């Protein structure tokens, strides 16, 4: 490579970085004037006007619909994210239902289809065919509206460590299923690829973005999410970012050891939280194993909540025992990660009061805005399909951060 082309490479990388900085800043501020963007990003005003011209021409930015009243002799134009011609697509699979969703690059909903999954339980090929068919229908709808699909994010109720394979999705009976490829081989190619993720961390991120839109919580940056529905999962958001660890599995609270030399866990270790507080264990302790086998896990967890609320003795004892373990986990997590807020998902959202009974010295660590102490432990706000929102929000941010590399400037 010649010195000239190397210099060109470096300068084009810097330019992409700066274009990305402008887009992610406008996204974060929900629209801003050029001077404000320059101030936030540290970019020189001259560079700023050049970058914004490129982004306006590429339809990634547009003049905001509501402009501030102009002062005499001075026009201050507010810019906002455009990208209405580009779509990030997501599909989340649950045990017997699924959601296909597309947002534009400004985060506005373009397409949404909820569907029942009526294929044979655990038949990965049949489920991949169904999801691919509905994604293809979504693409046809977008294309008819002159919108270009850029990426596809698949989300499954289980653990994914390599972006390719579902390591475990026990409710689907899947162990080691290459679901990304099963779907990718059945849909047209996406310029920014087809991706696969597990639901819990992505749902945690979606809860984080939902909370930040609430009055007084815009400054939230550190949050911890704990969910129990199919197994036990969670997410750690630190400095506004979802922590992933070196294998993409952080945070796996079900496999934190809580009983030294305890029962053997499916992961090959002894005494994990899952051996004493997995939903299957709690349902068994509550005398609901048969109910679960007949009606499925979601219905059995609803029945568990109903019986515990009604004061039924066996169910109440099983819930009390489970919450004791979850409080221990929360207590340790607060000291390990120092979150400002904790969000409880799955059936744990019904037991916020029980899980907020932590020692006072622990509760004193929690707080953001006017949510302090026990109030900083909140039920999840978004429903069963939170994770697909988290997945496409994260994808949108990744694309915005490197618009040239991700091919966004080429599509006008
Ligand atoms: Zn384990």
pLDDT digits (tens, 9 = 90+) for 213-270: 898 898 899 999 999 988 899 999 999 999 988 776 667 899 999 999 999 998 889 9
Tell how far the Cα of 138 is from the centroid of ligand 1, in angstroms.
Answer: 39
Question: Domain 3-81: which CATH class?
Answer: mainly alpha
Distance CA 214, CA 103 (A): 21
Tell how far the Cα of 411 is from the centroid of ligand 1, in angstroms.
Answer: 46
Tell how far the Cα of 351 is from the centroid of ligand 1, in angstroms.
Answer: 24
Band (356; pLDDT cuts 50, 70, 90)? very high
Tell how far the Cα of 266 is from the centroid of ligand 1, in angstroms.
Answer: 6
Tell how far the Cα of 253 is from the centroid of ligand 1, in angstroms.
Answer: 9
pLDDT tens string 307-350: 999 999 999 999 999 999 999 999 999 999 999 999 999 999 99
What is the SS3 string spanning 186-228? CCCCCCCCEEEEEHHHHHHHHHHHHHHCCCCCCCCCCEEEEEE
Tell how far the Cα of 205 is from the centroid of ligand 1, in angstroms.
Answer: 24
What are the beta bridge partners of residue 371? 368
Distance CA 384, CA 381 (A): 10
Residues with CB under 5 A from ligand 1 (ion): 255, 265, 267, 269, 272
Distance CA 342, CA 379 (A): 8
Burial class from Cβ neighbours inside 10 Å (0-12, 13-18, 19+) for residue 344 reads buried
Domain map of the chain by residue range?
3-81, 86-201+387-401, 215-383
Tell how far the Cα of 271 is from the centroid of ligand 1, in angstroms.
Answer: 7
Tell how far the Cα of 232 is from the centroid of ligand 1, in angstroms.
Answer: 11
Tell how far the Cα of 283 is from the centroid of ligand 1, in angstroms.
Answer: 18
Query: pTM of the predicted model, to two decimals?
Result: 0.89
Percent of the chain with pLDDT over 70: 94
Tell how far the Cα of 320 is from the centroid of ligand 1, in angstroms.
Answer: 22
Distance CA 165, CA 177 (A): 5
Tell how far the Cα of 278 is from the centroid of ligand 1, in angstroms.
Answer: 10
Domains 3-81 and 86-201+387-401 share a fold: no
Query: In the CATH scheme, what is the code of domain 86-201+387-401?
Result: 3.30.420.40
User: What separation, in Å, do the N-terminal and C-terminal C-alpha atoms of the chain show?
Assistant: 31
| pLDDT at 411 (0 to 100) | 66
Tell how far the Cα of 319 is from the centroid of ligand 1, in angstroms.
Answer: 21
Tell how far the Cα of 379 is from the centroid of ligand 1, in angstroms.
Answer: 25
| pLDDT at 180 (0 to 100) | 97
pLDDT tens string 136-174: 999 999 999 999 999 999 999 888 888 899 988 877 889
* pLDDT of 1 strictly over 60: no
Distance CA 123, CA 197 (A): 19
Average pLDDT score over residue span 378-400: 94
Tell how far the Cα of 218 is from the centroid of ligand 1, in angstroms.
Answer: 36
* pLDDT of 405 strictly over 90: no
* pLDDT of 4 strictly over 60: no
Tell how far the Cα of 275 is from the centroid of ligand 1, in angstroms.
Answer: 7
Tell how far the Cα of 352 is from the centroid of ligand 1, in angstroms.
Answer: 25
| pLDDT at 45 (0 to 100) | 87
Tell how far the Cα of 270 is from the centroid of ligand 1, in angstroms.
Answer: 7
| pLDDT at 65 (0 to 100) | 81
| pLDDT at 12 (0 to 100) | 79
The topology under which CATH files domain 215-383 is: Nucleotidyltransferase; domain 5 (3.30.420)
Tell how far the Cα of 311 is from the centroid of ligand 1, in angstroms.
Answer: 31
Between 1 and 291, name the one with better pLDDT: 291
Mean pLDDT of all residues in the chain? 91
Lowest mean pLDDT among 12-16, 31-35, 194-198, 353-357: 12-16
Tell how far the Cα of 285 is from the centroid of ligand 1, in angstroms.
Answer: 19
Closest to 224 measured CA to CA, from 315, 297, 331, 325: 331
Burial class from Cβ neighbours inside 10 Å (0-12, 13-18, 19+) for residue 219 reads exposed
């Amino acid at each position: 490579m010649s010195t000239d082309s190397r210099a060109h490479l470096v300068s084009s990388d810097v330019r992409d970085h700066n274009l990305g900085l402008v887009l992610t800043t406008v996204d974060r501020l929900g629209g801003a004037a050029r001077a404000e963007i320059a101030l936030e990003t540290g970019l020189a005003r001259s560079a700023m006007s050049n970058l914004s011209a490129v982004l306006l021409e590429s339809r990634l930015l547009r003049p905001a619909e509501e402009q501030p009243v102009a002062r005499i002799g001075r026009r201050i134009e507010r810019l906002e994210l455009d990208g209405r011609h580009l779509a990030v697509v997501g599909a989340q699979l649950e045990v017997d239902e699924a959601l296909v969703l597309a947002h534009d690059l400004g985060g506005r909903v373009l397409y949404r289809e909820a569907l029942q999954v009526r294929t044979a339980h655990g038949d990965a090929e049949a489920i991949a065919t169904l999801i691919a068919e509905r994604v293809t229908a979504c693409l046809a709808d977008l294309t008819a509206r002159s919108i270009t699909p850029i990426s596809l994010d698949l989300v499954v109720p289980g653990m994914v460590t390599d972006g390719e394979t579902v390591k475990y999705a026990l409710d689907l009976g899947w162990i080691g299923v290459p679901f990304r490829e099963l779907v990718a081989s059945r849909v047209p190619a996406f310029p920014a690829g087809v991706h696969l993720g597990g639901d819990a961390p992505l749902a945690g991120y979606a809860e984080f973005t939902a909370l930040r839109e609430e009055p007084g919580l815009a400054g939230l940056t550190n949050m911890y999410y704990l969910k129990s529905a199919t197994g036990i999962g969670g997410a750690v958001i630190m400095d506004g970012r979802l922590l992933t660890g070196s294998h993409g599995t952080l945070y796996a609270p079900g496999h934190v050891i809580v009983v030294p030399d305890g029962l053997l866990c499916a992961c090959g270790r002894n005494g994990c939280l899952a051996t004493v507080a997995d939903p299957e264990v709690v349902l068994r302790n509550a005398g609901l194993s048969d109910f679960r086998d007949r009606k499925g896990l979601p219905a059995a967890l609803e029945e568990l909540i109903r019986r515990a609320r009604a004061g039924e003795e066996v169910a109440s004892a099983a819930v009390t025992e489970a919450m004791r373990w979850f409080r221990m986990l929360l207590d340790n997590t607060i000291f390990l990660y120092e979150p400002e807020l904790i969000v409880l998902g799955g059936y744990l959202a019904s037991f916020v009061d029980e899980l907020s009974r932590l020692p006072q010295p622990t509760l004193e660590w929690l707080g953001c805005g006017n949510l302090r102490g026990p109030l900083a432990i909140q039920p999840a706000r978004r429903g069963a399909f939170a994770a697909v929102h988290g997945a496409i929000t994260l994808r949108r941010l990744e694309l915005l951060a490197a618009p040239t590399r991700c091919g966004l400037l080429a599509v006008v």
